[in-house]
Amino acid sequence: MPAGSGNPILKRCTVPFCSAVLLLLPVCGTAQSQSGIDLTAIDKTGDPCNDFYQYACGGWLKANPIPPDEASWGRFDVLFENNQKILRSILEDSAAHQERSLIDQQVGAFYQSCSNEDFIEKLGSAPLWPELDRIAAIATRADLLAEIARLHSLQVQVFFSFSPEPDPDNARRDIANLDQGGLGLPEKDFYFRTDSHSEDIRKKYVAHIAKMLELGGVEPSLAAKQATEVMRIETALAKGSLDITARRDPKLLVHRTSLAELAAESPAFSFPDYFQAIQSPKFSTLNVSVPAFQKALNDLLANEPLPHLKDYLAWHYISASARLLPHAFVNENFEFYSRALTGASQIRPRWKRCVSGVDEELGEALGRLFVERTHAEEGKVRTLQMVAAIEEQMKRDINSITWMSPVTKKRALEKLAAVTRKIGYPDHWRDYSSIHIASEDYFGNWYRANQFESHREIAKIGQPVDRSEWEMTPPTVNAYYEPTENNINFPAGILQPPFYSNDARDSVNYGAVGAVIGHELTHGFDDEGRQYDGDGNLKDWWTKNDRDRFTKLSDCFVNEYGGYSPVPGVELNGRLTLGENTADNGGIRLAYLALLSVLAKKSIPLSQTQDGYTQTQQFFVGFAQVWCENERPEATRLQVQTDPHAPAQFRVDGTVSNMPEFGKAFSCKPTDKMVAAKACRVW
């Protein structure tokens, strides 16, 4: 598995693609709510036994249309919006008091440079030209190699990717990894689907490339020709790529290769010269994730005329820089990557884009100020208590299941005991002091920060893995499981109201945040996570019979979710979403069992009511209301094609229909839709 590929519970679409941003919102009670349920969100005309999502969320969905600058709008977006406002306040204060500290100077000047639209407009496309001139001057294959390395150091991922990753056989040490890359569309299959919508997206993409090249200074008729060549090059790269579903199997991405073998397989590109140019530490072996892609890349570089390859580099550099440039670039980038792909009708306000930019480039500096402002330490204590309770239920669950043999159970329990927790924020903050940040150089600030991060990452090769490092910044509203480190991670962004409320009943809190904790723990034992041992090594610790039983049980989820159709003509990919569906179903069950234990210790009967709902009904409503979300059809289509997470409705209805406890809680009949004829269950 490539480094940085943990399992967030949700991905939220932004420009240009979907970034791993989990936005979780538990249930916030209104003033009239005793339990913590949002009573105004409930649609009393709905039938919980036949469409629980509509019942729990219908009122909220009706009252909360999607803002024009968003592709979707849900309960989780409200929490994200609140965090954005906190970050904006921090950044405006830092911008006004840059003399206060180095952190204030860096985040304040970065935000100020992004906010100064008049200065950015005045500069026009001039910031692009030094690099575009360098690309235009490429005269030899050696020049091409040097420019590829340079663009990679700027985090412009042309042709392929090169990064550290934990050694599959020794997850405590990073090795070098070559992987596929270099595409401008979200995923391989976007280049090959034959339906009319996909063909239309490809036409719009080629037109977008041409328009961006024009903005970069290319004459219109020539830009159109160059766009066609760029599309042809990307299609060749896509043909050699592994599709998004296949990439979920980590074993398919492990091919240990010596430098001599790599040189023999890639004669058209001197990788040793590239590794030197990118300033990589020396190594003798590396992992080549997708050998078929390397062959396609070699064939392309060997046979493609140099001018076409230069056009490809120019396009990707302009595209990567679009957000840093005048309105014409920003708006054209929005037209394709947001309007065409997600259906958003209006660009996000500048301040939101600037906040996101600082979080992306100087995230731990901004996060340090965020932690101080929000007193995140309080959330750590609450979260750890719930994690301990839910881990105990997982231990009991593993002991009680009947399909797993004693020998595999023993190893599963050993892995569970080895799970570590990172809560809130890093123990040691990243030092950005070497990056020069100027208040009137947004373009330069961005790429200097990119170079800093590229060099920091590349230097990890051959070094011990720093397991204290976070994949996400503290302000991120997210949670994830990292299989190569066997840890669960809850950044500070979620450790505050309304994610978890001291005013809500245990039943609601366990339905909301408890199900999330259970979700992340279950990822360690889904179809992907189960292939890693307790130390994060890619190691088969299952007996063959247990593997076969697990696969058979998992196939139930593949078939169930594969039958859902969120937009006409598009069905969910049950294989792509298998890990998340397994985690959703396992997570809610663990949270439910933990709640039963808590209520028993407090002598609270399940039948006790608040707001007209029993304890178990509150639990399920609390779970469902996390996922209340309106989404544009275009965004739903994109999610189904690129995202391992099912749309919100099916994360609710699919999950509760597999729990007999839900049917009992709401007195559902066996023939009701929320009562699966054959309930799926792994954990």
In whole angstroms, how far apart are CA 46 and each of 185, 202, 539, 655? 40, 40, 48, 18
Per DSSP, the chain holds a count of helices (H) and strands (E) of 27, 13
Residue of 234, 520, 631, 653 with catalytic role = 520
Structure tokens at 478: 């997210």
Active site residue 174: no
Strand partners, 570: 567
Q: Spell out where 69-169 has E strands.
A: 72-74, 160-167
Query: Which pair of tokens denotes residue 390?
Result: 């839910």
Query: Of all helices (H) and strands (E), which one includes residue 88?
Result: helix 75-96
- Residue 20: phi and psi, rounded to 5, are -75, 80
Confidence (pLDDT) at 26: 39
- pTM of the prediction? 0.93
pLDDT at 520: 96
Tell me what pLDDT residue 6 has: 66
Is residue 195 flagged as an active site residue?
no
pLDDT of residue 383: 81
From start to end of 28-120, where are the E strands?
72-74
Question: What are the tokens at 150?
Answer: 């340079």
Query: Can you list the domains of the chain with their CATH numbers?
Result: 12-86+377-426+470-665 (3.40.390.10), 131-324 (1.10.1380.10)
CA angle 658, 663, 667 (to 5 degrees): 170
DSSP alpha helices (H): ranges in 607-647? 615-625, 633-642
CA distances from 218 to 1, 130, 212, 678 (A): 40, 15, 9, 60
Low-confidence ranges of the chain (pLDDT < 50): 1-5, 12-31
Can you give the pLDDT at residue 20?
31
Helices 578-601 and 648-657: crossing angle, nearest 10°? Answer: 60
Report d(CA 498, CA 239) in Å as an integer.
45
**Percent residues over pLDDT 90 in the chain:** 89
**Residue written as token pair 């009137």:** 440
Out of 584, 611, 634, 672, pick the active-site residue: 584
From CA 450, how far away is CA 452, in angstroms rounded? 5
Distances, alpha carbon 238 to alpha carbons 132, 193, 319, in Å:
25, 12, 18
How many CB atoms are closer than 10 A to CB 410?
Answer: 12
Q: Answer whether 564's CB lies under 8 Å from 557's CB.
A: no
Tell me the Cα Rg of the chain. Answer: 25
At residue 27, the pLDDT reads: 40
- Share the mean pLDDT of the chain: 94
- For 315, the token pair is 């396009």
Q: How many CA atoms lie within 13 A of 468 on its CB side?
A: 5
Peptide bond preceding 647 in cis form (omega within 30 of 0): no
